[in-house]
Amino acid sequence: MKFSLVVFVLILCGCKSAQKESLTRPNILWIVGENLKLDLGCYDAKNVKTPVLDKLAEEGMRYTKVFSTAPVCATSRSAFFVGMYQTTSDTHNMRSHREDDYRLPEGVKPITHRLKDVGYFTANIQTMNGEEVGSGKLDLNFVNEGKLYDTGEWEELKDNQPFFAQLNTLEAEYDIYDRNTWQQPRVEWKGERHHEKIATPENVTPPPYYPDHPVVRQEWARYLNSVSGMDKTIGKVIRQLEDDGLADDTIVIFFGDNGRIEPRGIHWCYDSGIHVPMIIRWPKNFPAPKNYKTGRVSGEVVSLIDMTPTTLSFAGIDRPKGMDGRIFLGDKLGPKRKYAFSARDRVDETFNRVRSVRGERYHYIRNYYPDSHFTSLNRYKEKCFLIKPLMRKMMNEGKLSGAPAALMEDRVAPEQLFDTENDPHEINNLANSNKPEHREALIRMRTALEVWEVETQDQGVFPEAEEIVQPFEKEMHDWFGTPEWYSKQFFK
């Protein structure tokens, strides 16, 4: 009896000791800005009002060269949520493996499972004080890995520390159609629900690869105002973090899941589709890493695949063997990254294969199917992105010239090279330039891509079977319809 009592006491002490040890780990809050480029005041963006994120940047570190591994949500998230390139894990095609028995490769686990293994409570925040503040979005190309989060309610965090919480923002999304039905036009546009009208069609300057047209200006203002609205929601979250007494124990990480929601942004591997903001604020109650400095701006190349091992390191977890990505902040840094690699394959019903290599200055893009580019059919974009059908109409009427006309050509160059310092909108293709610095950059980055494809076993070389793609064709037609121009072309 005495022996049993002693054993019980030892076990109880051991449990309390483990609990005490787990509470020495910091809380971690991911704030994921959906469909967002560097369109914040702290990045010198115009016609936006983002005081909350600007202050977060002042109190933390701001990164200027962060790139997603894919220019669309589900494939990008499928990579940074496990720490393996989507092209390696066969999650590279948009919304694939939703109805089959696919499982992640052996040894690959969702980040929330790894954090739960060391005592973290996990949350995908949707509500706070009864208000919807996050979308609760998962949108992963794997669905058979079990429960990923413990809750969706902010109120459960305080009594369940340490926690890893993820909040996916609502605002930076066109959301023209109801999120549940995709059929009924929304009376209230998300970007305007906060009454932020900083940007107007009269004061914005859209990129030069679009025509100067009222519709383009209107859509650009809508997007920028949605960013200002997003900042207000994030302000509520940061204030609640402080009011709950959690701020001094919580690492706050804000980043975009993929690039801007514009026709030449999302779905494409230009900077507009993969270049994302990132801000990290370190809490007072935990010693900051040696390479962290309040107010610092870092121009090092970071891939979102690096978010996984870096976040795990914040929780005291060593980088798992075989995990893609490097630790870029902390005391166990990986080798400095020279290039960030990105990939685009099938998106919805639209087949393609594009690969991207992004360095500090130059950006190399490989288009494996040059006949499939901006003008190719994607029913979601044709319906929800008013700029694309506008440009199609203007092109047919002979009203486009320069960069907008070039974008509407049926064919794109197999290789593209851009000097992002001198050409931030990536309009002038230098792949055929005879200048030595351009030839050297092209050869280096072309070689880097070929090595990366082999080393990571890029699965994009294997096209999906027709029976897999066909249901997406029907689904997208049912949701968005098929434009008349395509029906005439297809059935002529």
The per-residue pLDDT for range 411-463, each reduced to its tens digit, is 999 999 999 999 999 999 999 999 999 999 999 999 999 999 999 999 999 99
Got the DSSP string for 56-94? Answer: HHHHSEEEEEEE-SSSSHHHHHHHHTTTS-HHHHT--ST
Is 394 part of any domain? yes
- Is residue 311 within 8 A of residue 31, CB to CB? The reply is no
Stretch 313-326: mean pLDDT, rounded? 96
Tell me which residue has tokens 């494409």: 268
Is 1 part of any domain? no
In tens, the pLDDT along 284-300 reads 999 999 999 999 999 99
In tens, the pLDDT along 121-177 reads 999 999 999 999 999 998 999 999 999 999 999 999 999 999 999 999 987 664 444
The span from the CA of 3 to the CA of 11, in Å, is: 12
| Residue 483: burial class (beta carbons within 10 Å; 0-12, 13-18, 19+) | middle
What are the strands of the beta sheet with 415-419, ordered from one edge?
Answer: 340-344, 354-358, 362-367, 415-419
CATH number of the domain to which 142 belongs? 3.40.720.10
The span from the CA of 319 to the CA of 274, in Å, is: 25
Strand-pairing partners, residue 342, are 356
In this predicted structure, the answer to whether residue 192 has a pLDDT above a threshold of 70 is no
In which band, very low, low, confident or very high, does the pLDDT at 183 lie, cut at 50, 70 and 90? very low
Residue burial 267-290, b: 16+ Cβ < 10 Å; e: rest:
bbbbbbbbbbbbbbbbbeebebbe
Amino acid at 296: R
Tell me how far CA of residue 30 lies from CA of 27, 194, 229, 252, in angstroms. Answer: 10, 23, 18, 6
The span from the CA of 89 to the CA of 80, in Å, is: 12
Is 205 part of any domain? yes
In tens, the pLDDT along 217-241 reads 999 998 999 999 999 999 999 999 9
User: What is the predicted pLDDT for the residue at 65?
Assistant: 98
Tell me which residue has tokens 């954090």: 115
Domain that holds residue 71: 25-491
Got the DSSP string for 378-426? Answer: -HHHHHH-THHHHHHHHHHTT---HHHHHHTSS---SEEEEETTT-TT-
User: What is the predicted pLDDT for the residue at 31?
Assistant: 98
Tell me which residue has tokens 């940061």: 238
Q: Mean pLDDT in the chain?
A: 91
Is 16 part of any domain? no
Q: Which two tokens stand for residue 82?
A: 């496990």
The span from the CA of 29 to the CA of 252, in Å, is: 5
Percent of the chain with pLDDT over 70: 89
Q: Which of 374, 372, 456, 345 is nearest to 96 (CA)?
A: 345
Strand-pairing partners, residue 63, are 278, 298
* Total domain count, the chain: 1
Percent of the chain with pLDDT over 90: 84
Is 17 part of any domain? no
Q: Which two tokens stand for residue 101?
A: 């028995």
The span from the CA of 308 to the CA of 80, in Å, is: 6
Is 120 part of any domain? yes
The span from the CA of 258 to the CA of 77, in Å, is: 9
Question: What global pTM score does this model have?
Answer: 0.92
Is 14 part of any domain? no
Whether omega for the bond prior to residue 424 falls within 30 degrees of 0, making it cis, is: no
Is 31 part of any domain? yes
Stretch 332-351: mean pLDDT, rounded? 96
* pLDDT: which is higher, 195 or 484: 484
- Is residue 366 within 8 A of residue 414, CB to CB? The reply is yes
In this predicted structure, the answer to whether residue 19 has a pLDDT above a threshold of 70 is no
- Is residue 172 within 8 A of residue 35, CB to CB? The reply is yes
In tens, the pLDDT along 74-85 reads 999 999 999 999
Q: Residue 244: how many CA atoms within 13 Å on its side-chain side?
A: 21
3-state secondary structure string across 112-125: HHHHHHCCCEEEEE
The span from the CA of 225 to the CA of 211, in Å, is: 20
In which band, very low, low, confident or very high, does the pLDDT at 479 lie, cut at 50, 70 and 90? confident
User: What is the predicted pLDDT for the residue at 491?
Assistant: 47
User: What is the predicted pLDDT for the residue at 173?
Assistant: 64
User: What is the predicted pLDDT for the residue at 20?
Assistant: 40
User: What is the predicted pLDDT for the residue at 457?
Assistant: 97
The span from the CA of 141 to the CA of 90, in Å, is: 9
Strand-pairing partners, residue 357, are 341, 364
Q: Rounded to 5 degrees, what are φ and ψ at 403?
A: -60, -40
3-state secondary structure of 164: strand
Stretch 389-400: mean pLDDT, rounded? 97
Q: Which of 174, 83, 97 is nearest to 140 (CA)?
A: 97
Q: Which two tokens stand for residue 142?
A: 């794997």
